Structure 1
Amino acid sequence: MVGTENLRRTGVLALQTLAVAGSYYAAGRLGLLWDLTVEGAVFTPIWPPTGIAVASLLIFGLSVWPGIALGALLVIVHLTSSLEPDVLGNLAGNTAAPICAYLMLRAVGFRTGLSRLRDGMALVFLGALTGMLISSTVGVGMLVMADRLQSHSFWGVWLAWWVGDAMGVLIVTPLLLWLYESQWPPQLSRWPEATALIVVTGAVVPLVTHSSLSVLFLVYPLLIWAALRFQLIGSMLCALATSVVATVAAREEAGPFEGLSRVEVMIKLQAFNGTIALTALLLSAVITEQRNTRRSVEAACHELVEVLEHLTAGDAPRGRPVQSEGEADGGPPQQETGR
Structure 2
Amino acid sequence: MASVVDVQRLRRPAAFVLQTLTVAAAYFGAGRLGLLRGLTVEGAVVTPLWPSTGVALACLLVFGIWVWPGIALGVLFVVMSLSPVQFAVIGTVFGNTAAPVCGYLMLRRVGFRTDLGRLRDGLALVFLAALTATLISATIGVGLLVLTGQLAADGFWRVWPAWWVGDAMGVLIVTPLLLVLMEARRPPRLTRWKEAVALTVATCVIVPVATLSSVSLLFLVYPLLIWAALSFQLVGSMLCALDASVMATVTATDRTGAFENMSSMTVMLKLQAFNGSMALTALLLSALITEQRNTRRSVEQACLELAEVLEHLTAGEAPPPGAPTAVDGEHSAGQRRADLRGP
TM above 0.5:
yes
For the pair 1:146 / 2:148, whether they are aligned, the reply is yes
Percent of aligned pairs with the same amino acid: 66
2-side partners of 1:149 and 1:316: how far apart?
A: 79
Q: Match for residue 330 of structure 1? A: none
Equivalent in the alignment of 1:240? 242
**Could you tell me how far apart the structure 2 residues matched to 1:187 and 1:91 are?**
44
* Secondary structure of residue in 1 paired with 2:45: strand
Q: Secondary structure at the match of 1:89?
A: helix
Structure-2-length-normalised TM-score: 0.89
Question: What is the correspondence of 1:52-63 to structure 2 with a 5 Å cutoff?
Answer: 52-63=55-66
Question: What is the alpha-carbon root mean square deviation over aligned residues?
Answer: 1.4
Give how far 1:315 is off. Answer: 5.5
Contact 1:86–1:143 (Cα < 8 Å) also in 2: no
Q: Which secondary structure state, in structure 2, belongs to the residue aligned with residue 34 of structure 1?
A: coil
**Residues 238-296 of structure 1, C-alpha deviation per residue, up to 9 Å, x if partnerless?**
00000010011111212221221100100000010000100000000000001100000
Give unpaired runs (5+ residues) of structure 2: 320-343
Q: Which residue of 2 aligns with 1:306?
A: 308
Q: Is the 8 A contact 1:54 1:98 kept in 2?
A: yes
- Evaluate the alpha carbon distance shift between residue 30 and residue 188 of structure 1 in structure 2; reply closer, same or farther with a 3 A threshold: farther
CA apart distance, 1:131: 0.6
CA distance in 2, matches of 1:9, 1:184: 31
Distance 1:155 1:6 in 2: 50
Code of the residue aligned with 1:197 in structure 2: it is L
Distance in 2 of aligned mates of 1:59 and 1:3:
28
Which residue does the alignment assign to 1:100?
102
- Please state how far the C-alpha of 1:86 moved relative to its aligned partner: 2.2
1:326 corresponds to which residue? none
Q: Does the CA contact (< 8 Å) of 1:128 and 1:166 recur in 2? A: yes
Matched, 1:42 2:45: yes
Letter of the 2:156 counterpart: F
In structure 2, relative to structure 1, the CA distance for the partners of 1:32 and 1:188 (3 Å cut) is: farther
SS in 2 for 1:169: helix
State which structure, 1 or 2, has the greater radius of gyration over its C-alpha atoms. 1
Report the equivalent of 1:64: 67
Provide the residue aligned with 1:204 in structure 2: 206
For residue 233 of structure 2, the aligned residue among 213, 231, 234 is 231
Q: Is the 8 A contact 1:113 1:177 kept in 2?
A: yes
Deviation, 1:2, is: 4.2
Which of the numbers 243, 248, 251 marks the counterpart of 1:249? 251
Q: CA deviation at 1:8?
A: 2.6
Structure-2 separation of matches of 1:120 and 1:231: 12
Superposition deviation, residue 134 in structure 1: 0.3
- The one of 7, 13, 17 equivalent to 1:14 is 17
Structure 2 match to 1:320: none
Q: C-alpha separation between the residues in 1 aligned to 2:180 and 2:318?
A: 50
Q: State the partner residue of 1:221.
A: 223
Matched-pair contact (CA < 8 Å) for 2:312–2:318: no
**Helix, strand or coil at the partner of 2:40:** strand
**In structure 1, the residue corresponding to 2:131 is in which secondary structure?**
helix
Is the contact made by 1:116 and 1:288 (CA closer than 8 Å) also made in structure 2?
yes
For residues 66 and 239 of structure 1, the distance between their equivalents in structure 2, rounded to whole angstroms, comes to 30
The size of the alignment, in residue pairs, is 316
Counterparts of 1:148 and 1:188, CA distance in 2: 55
Amino acid at match of 1:59: V
Q: Which moved more, 1:196-205 or 1:183-192?
A: 183-192
Deviates more, 1:9-18 or 1:98-107: 9-18
Q: CA deviation at 1:188?
A: 4.3
